[in-house]
Structure 1
Amino acid sequence: MQSESDQVSLGHWFLRGMRGIFSLPSFILMTSFVGFSAFALESGVNRGEAVFMTLMIWALPAKMILIGSMVGGANLAACFLAVTLSSVRMMPMVASIVPEMRGAKTPTWLLLFLSHFVAITAWVFATQNLSNVPREGRAAWFAGFGMTLTLVNTLIVGLCYGVVAAFPPLVAGVLFFLTPVYFIASIWASARHSVVKVAFVVGVIAGPLFAIITPEFDILYAGIGGGTFAYLVDRFLFRRKIVPVSPEGEP
């Protein structure tokens, strides 16, 4: 069992994590969720569904893909597969950050629970700040940040859903476009490898193209086909240019 001092320390780091809600990345994400409220409203998704998506799916791009698939007339299986494939990109983030959060006494179930809150904003912010937190307090710190960020944005969606309907068309349009702007900027800024940027460019081109050719499966085809094509381009074009150097300095 944890001692009283350990519990106080974990509570301290949990509160420190909660304070991350006042950071710039959190404010950008909260503003984007106002845009998501407008997106959900314009797409015919009701308030309860939008709130449920925010709380349970959490990652903003995945919700956009789900709504886009629904509006495009895709069936349930296609929607499920599209959202699943979009969420696979979170696996490397989880795999890289969980070892940083794990302490000697951190239970596995807690790490599995906290993995739900790993998305681009949480991952970037935690990567920048976890090194300043003692290892035994890192899980508590991330729990405070991730849970607060999720709950606050869920509340924002619930409150702003009806408000955005009363906005002038220009304001509603700006808020609507905050979501894709945030998505584009955050994905590009957080890209660590060339294949991610190649896939991003391919997706920007393939998305509208497949929307014209096969509107019901555009996201699915653009995701699988574009991702595969981006991997092949990166594997055989960009990485082939990297010449390995031997310890003696000879290629």
Structure 2
Amino acid sequence: MNENAEIESDAQGSVATWYLRGVRRCVSIPGLVLISAFIGFSGLAREAGLTLSQAVFMTGVVWALPAQVVLIGAVLAGNSLIAVAFAVALSSVRLAPMVVALTPELRTPKTRKWVLYALSHFVAITSWVLAMESFRKVPRAMRTAYYTGIGTTLVLVNMGVVAMVFLVAGKLPVQVTAALFFLTPIYFLTSLWGSARERAGHVAMVLGLACGPLFHIFLPGFDLLAAGLFAGGASYLWHRARVKRETVG
């Protein structure tokens, strides 16, 4: 049986079957890297004075790891509840383009809106990359079940990891905890580079890395926002100019 025939046959599979396939998809290098990053986060949360229940609750509700780090930093800085909520929301805005790209891949004429809203909670770089790399092999009608398997597995597993590591974090060397946590930005960078479908994405990443330190010097506190706007805007203009040149040529 060829691959196309297998996919057509799989389209008749049950929702549970595709959910379990989503669960199995999490057993991957990206999934292991994410777990290692949450090991580092658990140590950070413990050192920041959070309780076990607070750290686990944050993992399940906030989910995106950078937003959790922002939340801890804002709380430690003594900011008000409104300021903390705004900082976390601003940090999570970066995921909006991923939601916009993922939703059309999930939606079918019969998909209910509340299902898409619920699944958007699981959108983070790891789940997004795992799903977008696999969707071409998943029947559209089963993609919500498949992504539910990915999202719920990543969240529940890492909630368990945070709980277990929180109890033994005091026994881990600080250097080990910091090294594990540092794997997160490295993985994010390599994953986004590999999953970029347009050369403009690579241009934006290079520009962002290049101008980030400069904006940190001249616009401290707004460096990430400024670097993102500049790099994204410049890469968009470059892409439009490139497309226009190829069309004219």
How would you bin the TM-score normalised by the shorter chain? 0.7 to 0.9
Match of 2:211 among 202, 205, 216: 202
Give the TM-score normalised by the residue count of structure 1: 0.80
Is 2:16 the counterpart of 1:16? no
Distance 1:16 1:204, change over 3 A: farther
Q: Do 1:13 and 1:137's aligned partners in 2 also have CA atoms closer than 8 Å?
A: yes
Are residues 1:80 and 2:85 paired? yes
1:245 corresponds to 2:245: yes
**Distance in structure 2 (CA, Å) of the matches to 1:42 and 1:188:** 33
Q: Please say if residues 65 and 82 of structure 1, whose CA atoms lie closer than 8 Å, have aligned partners that are also in contact.
A: yes
2:153 — aligned with what? 148
User: Partner of 2:224 in structure 1?
Assistant: 223
Distance 1:226 1:89, change over 3 A: same
- Supply the distance in 2 between the matched residues of 1:245 and 1:196 (Cα, whole angstroms): 22
Identity, % of aligned positions: 41
Pick which of 197-206 and 104-113 moved more. Answer: 197-206
**Post-superposition shift, 1:94?**
1.0
Deviation sequence 1:35-93 (CA, Å, 0-9, x none): 11112122223222211111011111111222223334444333322222221121111
Q: 1:184 to 1:73 in 2, by over 3 A?
A: farther
5+ residue gaps, structure 1: 1-5
Structure-2 separation of matches of 1:79 and 1:206: 23
1-side partners of 2:51 and 2:195: how far apart?
Answer: 32
- Report the CA distance between 1:160 and its aligned residue: 0.8
Residue range with higher mean Cα deviation, 175-184 or 49-58: 175-184
How far apart are the structure 1 equivalents of 2:243 and 2:108? 39
1:59 to 59, 64, 87: 64
CA distance in 2, matches of 1:120, 1:60: 10
Q: CA deviation at 1:107?
A: 1.6
Instruction: Decide whether the 8 Å contact of 2:62 with 2:68 is kept in 1.
Output: yes
Matched, 1:113 2:118: yes
CA contact (8 A) 1:37 1:164 kept: yes
Q: Secondary structure at the match of 1:118?
A: coil
Residues 183 and 206 of structure 1: CA distance in aligned 2, closer, same or farther (over 3 Å): farther
C-alpha separation between the residues in 2 aligned to 1:89 and 1:195?
A: 14
Q: Distance in 2 between matches of 1:176 and 1:196?
A: 21
CA distance in 1, matches of 2:102, 2:153: 18
- 2:184 and 2:192 map into 1 onto residues whose CA distance is 12
Q: Which amino acid aligns with 1:13?
A: W
The answer to whether the 8 Å contact 2:18/2:142 transfers is yes
Gaps of 5+ in 2: 1-10
